[in-house]
Amino acid sequence: MQTSSPPPVPTLRVVDPRHLLRQRMLLALFWLLTVIAAFFAGRHLLVPDAEGIRAQLLAAEQRDIVMEQQLQEREQRITNLERGEQIARLANENVQTALAEKDNTISRLRRELALFERLIGPNAQAQGLTVHELALVPAADGVVTFDAVLTQTRDVRDGSSGRMTLSVEGQRNDQMETLAWSSLVPPEREEGIRFDFRYFQRLQGSFVLPPDFQPMAVEVRLQGRNIDTVRRRLSWGDAVKPGGT
């Protein structure tokens, strides 16, 4: 009969918590050092010229700043040139306008001089009341301004007096029509424009044409005491003078 051996007695292992904490801290420090070493190693291995790239980036930024400044300077020069061109264009337009006004003045003075020579010159002949000149200037909304010069040298002592009216011939709705003075002006001007002179007189005014009316001719009528009615008819194209007289 064999006797059984008693079971082994389990050994107890005492673990120091402080020792375990130190081990974990050492492992964590080792892992952190490994990560840092891997970062720097990868930086030098994968991007060996990081400082050179950084320098190139700074240089590119500096070039961008310089180019932006140059662009602003060029835009300012272009703006100055455009302003200068506008000023030059405006000055040229003013000069052209002044020259056109002077040309109109010279032309008007020449016509007036020719008129004086005709009326009182050495070769002047006595003439009755007449419409020496008529100029029409159409504007917007059917408004037409007119400038008429009346003359007479036959009765210088008493002169000529009366009223001037206009009528316009043309088409409306494919029908010929004549617009009397009373239909062209307000009621207070229906009697016409008064004239009273010995040698000549310039009469100016305006009237309004209907929007659907196509003018073809204009007739001036002079009426007064002790004088026969004087008429002068002109085609619309001959009477219209751009810019006036």
Longest Cα–Cα distance in the chain = 186
Cα separation, 121 vs 144, in Å, equals 34
Half-sphere exposure for 110 (CA within 13 Å, toward CB): 6
User: How confident is the model at residue 222, as a pLDDT?
Assistant: 96
More confident residue, 121 or 182: 182
Straight-line distance from the first to the last Cα atom of the chain, in angstroms, rounded to the nearest whole number: 160
Q: What is the pLDDT of residue 23?
A: 75
State the pLDDT at residue 49. Answer: 60
pLDDT attached to residue 134: 95
Distance from the Cα of residue 201 to its chain's centroid: 40
- Specify the higher pLDDT residue, 200 or 9: 200
Confidence of residue 44 (pLDDT cuts 50, 70, 90): low
Please give the average per-residue pLDDT across 37-58, as a whole number: 67
Average pLDDT over residues 201-225: 94
> Is-contact 147 164, C-beta < 8 A?
no
Q: Is the pLDDT of residue 165 over 90?
A: yes
Contact present, 221 and 179 (Cβ < 8 Å): no
* pLDDT score at 12: 53
Look up tokens 């194209």; give the residue. Answer: 237
pLDDT digit string (tens) for 69-107?
A: 888 888 888 888 888 888 888 888 888 888 877 777 787
pLDDT for the residue numbered 244: 46
